[in-house]
Structure formats: C-alpha cells, structure tokens
Amino acid sequence: MKTQISSLEYSHFPVMLSEVVQISSPENGGIFVDCTFGGGGYSKALLKFPKTKVIAIDRDPAVVAISKKFEKVYKDRFQFYQSKFSQIDKFLKKDIDVAIFDLGLSSIQLNNFKRGFSFKSKGEIDMNMGLSNFSAQDAVNNLSENQLKLIIKILGEEKEAYSIAKNIVRARSKKKITRVDELVKIIEKSKRKNFYSKIHPSTKTFQALRIYVNKEITELINGIVKATKLLKPGGKLLIVSFHSIEDKIIKFLFSNFSQNKSKPSRYFPEDNSENLILFEKYTNKVIRPSKKEIKKNNPSRSAKLRYAIRSKNEFNFPNNLIKKFSRYLDIEAIYV
C-alpha cells in the first residue's frame, strides 16, 4: 500500500532512526508507543514491519493532520492521541513492548516562525508546543525579575541570567515585549561579547523559556516513569535527549533503578520502597549520531540516545528521582 505523504511529514528529519529501529527490534511485532510522534518518522519506520502496532502521542495540534494520514493507511495498526505524554496512562493500560521518547522540538515547530521558537523569527514570542496554558510572552512580561533570573539560570544554564532578567524588566517597564526580535536584542545587549562561542547569544535563554512554558522537566519525569510502569518485563524504554538536564534525569533513572544500581550516597538516603529495581543491568552507554548523520542533519549533533530494559520486578514509584530533581520541578511550578 502506498503512503500518502504530506509536506509537513517530511519536514522533520528523524534522529538516529536506524539505531532506534534496531534497538526496538520490531521484526516479531508487538506494541510500540511513539511518545513524541512529530513528523511520524519513527512511527512510519516501525509500521513497515507488518506485525507491529503503533500508539502515537504528541501534544502539538500541528501534527494531527499527519496522524490522520497514518490512520487511513495503517488502519487498526495505528492510533494517535493529541495529548501530553505525561498522560500516557490515561489511554494505555499495560504490556507495552517498546516506548520511545524523542525529546525537544521538531523542525515543524522550529521552522514555523509564527510560533516564536527560533531566535531568527520576527513573530510573537509564543513557544507553546501545544496544550500549555500560557506563552513565553506571558512569562517575559509578568514574572518578577528574580523568577526570570531563576528560570534563565537553572533551566537555560545561562551564566549571565542576572543581567538578562534585569534588562527584560527594564525594557518591559517602557513597553510590553511582544516580538522575538525585541527579546533577542535585549539578550544580546545583556551579554558580554564572546567571540569564541559557537552558539547564538539567545540560545540558552530561549531554551529556558521553552522548557518553562511547556513544563518539559515535569513532563519528562512523569512520562518516563509512567512508561516504565506500563512496559512488559523485557520491554524497552528508549529516550533521545538534546540537553544536559534531560540527560542527567535519564541517566539517574537508568543507573539508580537498575540491577547494577550504584550505591546510594550517604547524603542521599536510599529510597524507602523495596524492590526498587525497575530495569535489567544498565550498561550506561550513550549512543550518538554518526558523523555522516550530523553532516546531513546538523540539529542531531547534540542528540544522545539511551535505553534500558524493564526487569521482572514489581513497579514502585522511584521517589528519589523526584527528590533529586525537585529544584527543576519547583521552578516549572512557578505560576505566571
């Protein structure tokens, strides 16, 4: 059967596609959950194997049209939910073979300048991936200087957060900040010139605002813990991440709740729940895109793929994961 292709569908280049498919081993079929459907690159590759069933999730309303085409072509082998992946347990009960998370933004989102994710945009500062109830514009114009500083410093890992927050507050006291290019100018003015830096001066502040608006850390922690609960023993959890906060969380979950878990630190008492082994032995190996892939698709350069295999042990909530990263969760809980 021939697939109907939309232009949107091909505007995102799936990162480490062959590695993801190989680890997922779809040859013998099973239930695969594509928690971040995007342009459908992973779903499509998995559906090429005739015995697979794919359940796809994405919060972005812009990809619903792509999912409709998949539903037409693959009929009962494909189901889509426009939802946040933290809600995965609302429509799936258990016995998943593979759950895949490909975090961050799709090119469909980044290249639509009206959505304000790219600092090349002259559109409104929005940055809502879908299903968020406020925008980056609300955050920039309503949060206190101290709240902005915290968000930019902790979620963006931006060393010059103090002067950026101060200048945002100064600029908005004269006129509401509405457009991306206005915000970019404020950030550029706030930062010392660094001729050696390979990234745009706005990269970290934009990352911080995007994470905050979409509550990405809260989503990640809830999404991967719930997916772990729904996996079959022997089922696989694959996660592609793009920045160090995400990677720290994934590494902590996989290495501290696996059969070879490291000893808890004396400053950090072990989780009270017994049997807190959720994964088989975790080798802690990060998979990176090949040089050839990076050359073809530059945004893949910062991608890291990690995966772990669900053990037979009963599920208990990994409370230490929440404790360890509560600082990020508290910042995302700041109310605009």
Would you say 276 or 305 has its CB closer to ligand SAM?
Answer: 305
How far from each other are the two terminal CA atoms of the chain, in whole angstroms? 49
Query: How many residues would you count in the chain?
Result: 336
At 277 the three-state DSSP class reads coil
Residues 6+ apart with CB under 8 A from 265: none
What x-and-dash track marks residues 150-169 binding ligand SAM by CB under 6 A? --------------------
Check binding of 289 to ligand SAM (CB under 6 A): no
Beta strands at 231-241 and 304-309: parallel, antiparallel or unpaired: antiparallel
Distances (CA, A) of 180 to 7, 60, 86, 199, 231: 26, 21, 29, 17, 41
Would you say 26 or 201 has its CB closer to ligand SAM?
Answer: 26
Would you say 129 or 169 has its CB closer to ligand SAM?
Answer: 129
Would you say 29 or 299 has its CB closer to ligand SAM?
Answer: 299
Distances (CA, A) of 232 to 27, 96, 226, 277, 279: 17, 6, 12, 14, 11
State the minimum distance, in angstroms, from the CB of residue 142 to ligand SAM: 23
Check binding of 41 to ligand SAM (CB under 6 A): yes
State the minimum distance, in angstroms, from the CB of residue 106 to ligand SAM: 4
Check binding of 85 to ligand SAM (CB under 6 A): yes
**Helical (H) or strand (E) element with 58:** strand 52-58
Check binding of 84 to ligand SAM (CB under 6 A): yes
Check binding of 226 to ligand SAM (CB under 6 A): no
Binding part of the chain for ligand SAM, among 25-33, 40-48, 72-80, 162-170 by CB under 6 A, reads 40-48
Residue of 8, 14, 256, 279 interacting with ligand SAM (CB under 6 A): 14
Check binding of 106 to ligand SAM (CB under 6 A): yes
Helices 203-214 & 216-230, crossing angle to 10 degrees? 60
Would you say 15 or 177 has its CB closer to ligand SAM?
Answer: 15
Would you say 12 or 204 has its CB closer to ligand SAM?
Answer: 12
Residue of 56, 70, 97, 104 interacting with ligand SAM (CB under 6 A): 104
Encoding tokens for residue 286? 């990060």
The neighbour count for residue 93, using CB atoms within 10 Å, is: 8
Distances (CA, A) of 167 to 153, 162, 190, 221, 258: 15, 9, 7, 32, 46
Check binding of 230 to ligand SAM (CB under 6 A): no
Check binding of 310 to ligand SAM (CB under 6 A): no
